[in-house]
Structure 1
Amino acid sequence: MNFDFFCNKVSLPMCSLVDSKFMPECYSRNLEIVKGHLTFQGATLFMGIVALVMTLIMIFHIKSKYTAVGRKEVVIFYYLYFLYIILEMVVSSGVVPLYLEYYKYVVASYIGVVGAACTTLLVSGLVSFQWIEDGTAKSLWLVRVCALISFGINFAVSYLTFEKQILTTSQILYILFFIVNGAEILIYFLLQVFLVITVLDEKWPLGAILFAAAFYIIGIVCEFVFSKEICGMCAHYIDGVFFGVTFILLAVMMVYKYWDSITKEDLEFSVGKNQTVWEIKEPTYYVNDKGPRPF
């Protein structure tokens, strides 16, 4: 197991650091936005900006649902996704050139954040089963510690692989980046489908989580399998990375839609909402043979 197959298809940040024998045969055009400095993945960079804006909107709406179940836990995932988009833009656009010494640290941080986001998504999904009370210190620290451990393991393995001092092959990094992260996301989707079918009265959220799974699969396939074909058909203007960022954003948005549809606020304790005002109007009178009477 190594990165050769994927590095031949798409330009991954770690390909130049794991001594892959292959480089992508087709990649998107470079743009000279600033004189003397080439920017890679221009279309992906634009989509990354869109993703940052949409993520901020989702975070705002999550934080405004003051009494929703799992609000504090799920917002951690969106903070990590926001950081992932920033690092994706940095490593894909050439903001940090490959020849700089600290490029390996940026890529290791990128891999660590990806791992932490996948772990956080899984743990926040487990919290939705109410086996631990959401919003408590125990629940929040569980999410934070799991995310920190995942980040630390992914960062350490990435760094040691890039340094080639202790880990001389990229197999462990390959397992962490593709298999472990993929397994965590798969388990999250399966658990949420099980939750909707067995626990919830409403079945409409099932559509949102299935759309999220479909968008995620399409994004991964476009980026890691058909990037070379997409790049050729689009005359090098875009490649699979653009579709990967786009469809994963759609998947994250559907995860928010799913979470929003399965959580209900306790209106008695909600804050910042328009309160219904009941007004007693003047009684209406009618006239009969005994004089005016109220309705």
Structure 2
Amino acid sequence: MKTVSDSRIWSRLQPVVTTALVLGLIGIPLWLVVVTAGKSQGEALDPDLSLPGHWQLFANLREVWVQGEVPAAFFGSLLIVVPTVAGVLVFGSMAAWVLARRTTRLNAALYALGISGIVLPPAVVTVVLLLRQLGLAGSAVGMIGVYMGIYLSTVIFFVTGFVRTIPASLEEAAQIDGAGPLTVFRRIVLPLLRPALATATILICLYVWNDVFYAFFVVGGRLDTLPLNLFRVASAGLYLNNWHLIFAYVVLMSLPLVVVLAVAQRKIIAGITSGAVK
């Protein structure tokens, strides 16, 4: 039978165990990437957790930046990520506001249909064929449309739960003052959605920035993004067996997301707890 002392011991050990698991699952792979990116070619032939004999991380990053054509790929990633995130946030938040405020059977069915994209994988072959029929295959517009269709469900899921926590009296007061629906949404609802939108922004940025699967089938070979460029140069002779350059590319590609995550981590936690749990 479990005693009170056992419960106290477990309550004290639980943070330690959790921290150890997090360090093991996240810290060890991260350490492997960083130390390998800082090694020479000879030291990185067999990647391990040992420290490099001489750190040359910045030299490797500089070589990757120049020889790997990173600036063009970085611009291609921004060309895809920025419009995708903006479009998904705008349309997703507006749809979530309507679905949260108008509680009808039709809207309940539309909400279930809207968030079904979280668990139902898109048919890649059908998507590619449809884009070819529309003349959007291999274009940035087609890739943005695919990403918006995939990740719109994520925004609807987070924002709908968050909107339900906002008092409807705030919107009613604005409507009494003569504000229309768009004005109410833009001036009352949208500023209150910042935590949920921050959470959705980070998640979508992570998905789209690191995606290589859908980008390979939709725009592969016609528009370079960072993951596609890494796949191309890693398969070519330039990075063949040059693990120090491959891991340096991974570090370089991850830096923008690491900075964004470090800045927005508080809003991410607030958005998850308020939007998903409530």
In terms of fraction of residues, the more strand-rich structure is: 1
In terms of fraction of residues, the more helix-rich structure is: 2
Q: Do Structure 1 and Structure 2 share a fold, with TM-score over 0.5?
A: no
Q: Is the radius of gyration larger for structure 1 or structure 2? A: 1
| TM-score, normalised via structure 2 length | 0.28
